[in-house]
Amino acid sequence: MKKFKEIPDKVTFNTKKEDILNKIKLILKNKGFDKSDPHYYMQLNYNLSTLQRAEYLLEIINHFKKLNFADKKVLDVACGTGGIAIVCAKKKADVTALDLDKDSIELAKFMAKKEKVKIKFIIEDVFKEKFDRNFDIIFSIDSLEHINAEKFIFVFKNHIKPGGYLILKVNNKLFPYDPHTQKYLIHLLPVKTIDSLLKKYYWNFFRTYKS
């Protein structure tokens, strides 16, 4: 398999994991997680790697289409803890980031401050926010499976500039795990992998999506 080429303007991060560890623990506590919860450390590790996962995703995108983010207007819809938004901002993009979850936005703002980037964060439902501008690039990462995907595409295609990009990512065979529910997507896994996981974990680590 051909290896992915590294992004030419690959960024470095100022945020150290220990800097955000306590912030994430507080957010998890606010969400009702505690250390006795079997998913606590999954969520902890997932959120700690927000920036690195975003950088890797852009590296994959760069493999297929090289995008110049400098001075581009970027919208990150359902931005979560802001990984994509922050990485794009570090690449000199003019970024707006939207999410309904105030705790996730709180962590995103914390990391954006550490990374010394300016991002317009909005706490609102994706279908209720009215945008007064169009964007060169719109991201929606791991969110379409939780909302009305057809309505989403209909709404946001009207906010893309001519020649712009709508970049979507959903759970798939390369990453068959839903970080929101902390469950593997059993219908995307090989049988041998399922057997191995069933021996190690409980049934509630799995879920399926209706097609």
The per-residue pLDDT for 195 is: 65
Question: Measured at the alpha carbon of residue 22, what is the angle toward residues 21 and 23, in degrees to the nearest 5?
Answer: 90
What is the average pLDDT value for the chain, to the nearest integer? 79
- What is the rounded distance in angstroms from the CA atom of residue 134 to the CA atom of residue 30? 34
147 with 124: CB under 8 angstroms?
no
The per-residue pLDDT for 87 is: 95
The per-residue pLDDT for 96 is: 96
The per-residue pLDDT for 117 is: 95
- Give me the sign of the Cα torsion angle 191, 193, 197, 199: positive
The per-residue pLDDT for 30 is: 77
105, amino acid identity: I
* pLDDT over 90 at 90, yes or no: yes
The per-residue pLDDT for 8 is: 47
Q: What is the pLDDT of residues 50-85, one digit of tens each?
A: 888 889 889 888 888 889 999 999 999 999 889 999
Q: What is the pLDDT of residues 159-172, one digit of tens each?
A: 889 989 999 887 66
The per-residue pLDDT for 31 is: 75
Which structure tokens are listed for 56?
């890797």
- What is the rounded distance in angstroms from the CA atom of residue 96 to the CA atom of residue 73? 8
> Lowest-confidence range among 25-39, 93-107, 158-172?
25-39
* pLDDT over 70 at 105, yes or no: yes
* pLDDT over 90 at 123, yes or no: yes
Which helix or strand (DSSP H or E) is residue 138 part of?
strand 135-141
First to last CA, the chain: 29
Strand duo 119-123 + 135-141: pairing: unpaired
Which helix or strand (DSSP H or E) is residue 121 part of?
strand 119-123
The per-residue pLDDT for 206 is: 46
Q: How confident is the model at residue 115 (pLDDT cuts 50, 70, 90)?
A: very high
